[in-house]
Amino acid sequence: MRRLYGPEADADPLALYERLRREHGAVAPVLLPGDRPAWLVLGHRENLEVARTPSLFSRDSRLWRDMQQGKVPPDHPLAPLTMWQPLCVFADGEEHARLRKAVTESLSRFEARGIRRYVTRFAHQLIDEFEPEGKADLVEQFADQLPLRVITQLFGMPEHYGPRLTDAAKDMIRGSETAVASNDYITDALQDLVDRKRAEPGHDVASKLLEHPAKLSNDEVREHLRVVLVSANEPTVNLIANTLRLVLTDQRFRATLAGGHMTLPDALEQVLWDEPPMTTNIGRWATGDAQLAGKTIKSGDLLLLGLAAGNADPQIRPDKSTPMHGNRSHLAFSGGPHECPGQDLGRAIVDTGIDTLLTRLPDLRLAVPEEKLSWETALMSRRLVSLPVEFAPRRRDGGTGPGAGAPSVELPPLQTPEPASVPLPPEAPSAEHPSWWTSFKQWLRGR
């Protein structure tokens, strides 16, 4: 069996998925860290079948035969991702519905316009820090930083938590040797938050979870905050970086944008097809013996959803160069009852963050040859290491030269919408601050 970790997987995971597809078809036997056996689901239809059939393929990791046999101890690299905990991602049926409803309804208490305003605020703060230099690494200085600044604000956490939580979340999702310690740090920080919000509630996700009619325990609140933090951060970071890379390097992609044939939301959907922010998803566990794409899955077997592989399935995409405009049937956010609950939050952060960046800096250009860009591969994601760019530095008064930048804006606290209200669309651009779309097209055309 081929390993989903190590040199072959790290070099080019997408090529590895295609080799597995040729060798085994839509479902392939693989080895995970520690050489734990698993099944990688490669077919688009088969991914949806597994995701939508919890009666056969459960999220309850206590079914995992290897864990029952003591082969996945607490210090195993997979433990933070698979050790059962009392939260919705490990539940099915009524218990899953109860817990997930608490999460989705707590997140929905924050209107779209308010969230986008906070994304704009933090994006401006980040741009202020590097704009006078005329150069930046858009992974380290922008994509890596923006999502958790917004998420910690929604949670009601102090802003200084952001950088350390960013590092810990990246390390945990990577499944490294220090993943357990990083998981412990996140757990401790969130427990402190829950304790404070239990004593002094406010207008934030933590308080809304605590007061929800589902009556979550402190442990349940803490663990669901961790799920939102990790699941909303890493994919959003990758989606920002991948979209910016395409804008800066792909001539066909750039021309489609500049010609008005694709909007930014369309562009995001294309990236979600071609470079989903999470390549795989752990995991599902067989509730009994089952057949899947001609393979016999034994009771207690672990399955990984192959999100990137499913998106590239030749059965649904025989020609991968064909644009997928308006098609949201990709697997980037998984599917079924466990489909990512934070996808709308992620889209708002990416859309608004990129819009703000390219409005401020419409003359962005890649500072190194494209072939110099590199990726860091983990079990569940493929991450752009850096994205060095150059642009004309601007003064704080709006001119070019050192000291550039539009001033950061201070915003009032997020407002809770009235119960009957619906999410509002992003505000229309003002005449003073045109959409990045207009600025970017003018720059591409040399105006």
pLDDT digits (tens, 9 = 90+) for 42-57: 999 999 999 999 999 9
Query: For 230-268, what is each residue's pLDDT tens digit?
Result: 778 889 999 999 999 988 988 777 667 666 666 778 888
| CATH of residue 279 | 1.10.630.10
Q: Interior CA angle at 335 toward 332 and 337, to 5°?
A: 145
Q: Which two tokens stand for residue 104?
A: 């989705």
What's the CA gap between 145 and 412, in Å, rounded?
Answer: 21
Domain count, the chain: 1
Full-model pTM: 0.83
Rounded Cα–Cα distance for residues 128 and 136 (Å): 11
**pLDDT single digits (tens) 116-136:** 988 999 999 999 999 999 999
Domain encompassing residue 139: 2-444
Distances (CA, A) of 229 to 1, 88, 163, 335: 34, 14, 13, 19
DSSP letter for 288, please. S
Among 225-229, 235-239, 307-311, the minimum mean pLDDT is found in: 225-229
Averaged pLDDT, 190-203: 94
Calculated CA dihedral for residues 17, 23, 25, 27, nearest 10 degrees: -60
For Cα atoms 352, 357, 361, give the angle at the middle one, nearest 5 degrees: 150
Beta strands of 131-248 (E only): which ranges?
A: 135-137
Q: Which of 391, 338, 340 is nearest to 364 (CA)?
A: 391
Question: Other C-beta atoms within 10 Å of 432: how many?
Answer: 5
Give strand pairing partners of 377. 382
pLDDT recorded at residue 413 = 42
74: which residues sit within 8 A by CB, 6+ positions away? 83, 180
